[in-house]
Structure 1
């Protein structure tokens, strides 16, 4: 599983240890962050589950071993004996880590591995990749959730990152308090509530906004959250209330002055007898914009946050490192 999801030098080092008779030496390595990124005062540790699954399933296939033999930098070391070692490779070490969701600070170990030297070396790249990414996203998502207060935050960022990264991002965001994700695969894989509304294309594909709303409510009578800003947001709010009535679960605002519009839309919905309908806001949101809206008293019940959250846009990389801290003889 994922055996080649690593840097070449992990494999050249493993080959070197093998041929120099160092396989019995036991090493302890720690993964930590030397300094916080700008705009961060804390981090939230995530990614351990991915690392554990990687360690449990780490294997080299015959096809992968043959490929390694064709890499010039490895060719001299890919002897039959080393190939046999890789073929039987299993991780035998011990792993200690802080629980996922733990708030951590610089120079505090997130992960500690004690294992035979080759094993401790080989897992470095994957461990850093999984934990750096998930921790960066979780730390950003935690800031967004804190800013939202008692309003919910939905993770909406799948389209703004790589498909596999989107799954890790959805899991990290949910772990720190997001109420759900738009990513259906993440919902099935991790048991995360899957949430969503409607597309502008749906409205534009109908001859009128009224027809679009009527069609949506007909198909989804118990889950009608209508997107009302395709044309005129306030007119859309009135139409949504008139058409869906007591079946209206909510409306979504995706553009414009979200603060002013949410106030006006709330009044339209309340006056129409749709006081229970929620207002969902989305569109380039982050913790700072959400804090501004809340300070202004915007009556927004749910925030959909995508790009800034899944890319951790103001701190897009985390400088986690994995270092040898102890080595035994042998």
Structure 2
């Protein structure tokens, strides 16, 4: 299962107009070849949570490798009357030739650290901002939502899995396919979206709709017809008429008939009602009848909070089909990931955005991200430096509050958290598979402190600035203030 299927678009026009007008300005003033360094990061974890799961990197790298201006693109730009002939002629041979340094897909990541750094000629780095943010913001948001649902489901003493059911509520066809991909990175075991299954090799799952039952003379006839077609993969929807008085007895009848013919009923699905109560009753009936391996699937506008509630009330759901809340990344604190793309260096000179809101100021310079592992194997904190690994006793400050700092303890092992994934516009290694990304997310989540994984009121995982980064920030900020008289 590779992660290198074609991105939704590789058009160079999938950008904001101001990227192109700035590119022309850079070209006109001879700045377009200046080496620029841009950092992509977010300022707040989504869903009021303590972490995010990094997703969308492989499609983003696909896009960077393929990006070109076609003759049709150039003709359209010419028709706008904004762009000079010499600039449009220069775009004819344009391609991305830069370097990308990033966390590997599936990594757990945190606010205020550069998740991805682009080092490239200024006009190249400027153009790709919109496409990178579009791809990485959305897929990271959905992967994080999926991980939160997975963590909630796995808290059940009976276990639980997540499948993605959200195509019909997603933001358009591309959004639906991207959401299915990202949900798998975050830990979902399958999707109902057939196009995503084809494009990314995702496991497909599904049952039947209420319309199937309504299309036959009665519920039992509908169940029997479906089982006859799919004797080894039948999951029956129980709530079209009455879940306990009709759906469950009829499903048991079909289960016995399948077994007599050498097959087994795979599962039953609940799509309405009190999921905790109904699943307990259904589990008891299935077990009593000798069908302990039949899975109970639940859907109906699920989220991590609903899953947690079902489990807390003794529910016996095996598989949660999460649709709207997953594909749209809805719920408390959802809707969007506020990833940004900020200039950190140009022509070897550190750059920063200085603003009245310290939380929105950017960090200058070319930074490395180091992740500390404690003696217990858990992740302890991340630290940004301008070079080597942090040292015991070094002062580390808060990215949003220069007055808040601490000293690094001993007993920590430091890992360089990112790597160069694109050099000279080409990948540096074999593309990562989705299975590898999912495995990395699962492993990283397991190494987070338990309080950081918590859905409600999580502990804040520390991201700190080494003395060199903090010092550079202070010097650049002071120079800007002195220059402007602020």
CA-based RMSD of the aligned residues comes to 1.3
Q: Write out aligned runs for 1:1-330 (5 A).
A: 1-37=10-46, 39-72=48-81, 74=82, 77-79=83-85, 81-149=86-154, 150-161=159-170, 162-234=172-244, 235-245=246-256, 246=259, 247-314=264-331, 315-328=334-347
C-alpha distance in 2 between matches for 1:136 and 1:329:
33
| Partner SS for 2:228 | helix
Q: 1:63 deviation in Å?
A: 1.0
Aligned residue-pair number: 326
TM-score norm. by structure 1 comes to: 0.96
C-alpha distance in 2 between matches for 1:287 and 1:329:
46
| Partner SS for 1:248 | coil
User: Which sits farther off after the overlay, 266-275 or 146-155?
Assistant: 266-275
Tell whether the 8 Å contact from 1:48 to 1:131 is kept in structure 2 after alignment: yes
C-alpha distance in 2 between matches for 1:89 and 1:68:
14
Tell whether the 8 Å contact from 1:142 to 1:176 is kept in structure 2 after alignment: yes
C-alpha distance in 1 between matches for 2:309 and 2:128:
43
Q: 1:170 deviation in Å?
A: 0.8
Tell whether the 8 Å contact from 1:68 to 1:78 is kept in structure 2 after alignment: no
C-alpha distance in 2 between matches for 1:24 and 1:202:
61
C-alpha distance in 2 between matches for 1:276 and 1:102:
34
Runs (4+) of structure 1 exceeding 4 A deviation are none
Q: 1:324 deviation in Å?
A: 0.5
Once the two structures are superposed, residues 279-320 of structure 1 have per-residue CA deviations (whole angstroms, 9 ceiling, x without a partner) of 001101111111111122211110000111111112111111
C-alpha distance in 2 between matches for 1:93 and 1:227:
52
C-alpha distance in 1 between matches for 2:314 and 2:280:
8
C-alpha distance in 2 between matches for 1:265 and 1:238:
10
Q: 1:38 deviation in Å?
A: 5.1
C-alpha distance in 2 between matches for 1:37 and 1:217:
42
Once the two structures are superposed, residues 72-110 of structure 1 have per-residue CA deviations (whole angstroms, 9 ceiling, x without a partner) of 4x2xx331x222211111110000110111111111111
Q: Higher helix fraction: Structure 1 or Structure 2?
A: 1
User: Which sits farther off after the overlay, 22-31 or 271-280?
Assistant: 271-280
C-alpha distance in 2 between matches for 1:95 and 1:116:
12
Once the two structures are superposed, residues 151-196 of structure 1 have per-residue CA deviations (whole angstroms, 9 ceiling, x without a partner) of 0111110111111011111111111211111111111111111111
User: Which sits farther off after the overlay, 15-24 or 61-70?
Assistant: 15-24
Q: 1:329 deviation in Å?
A: 6.6
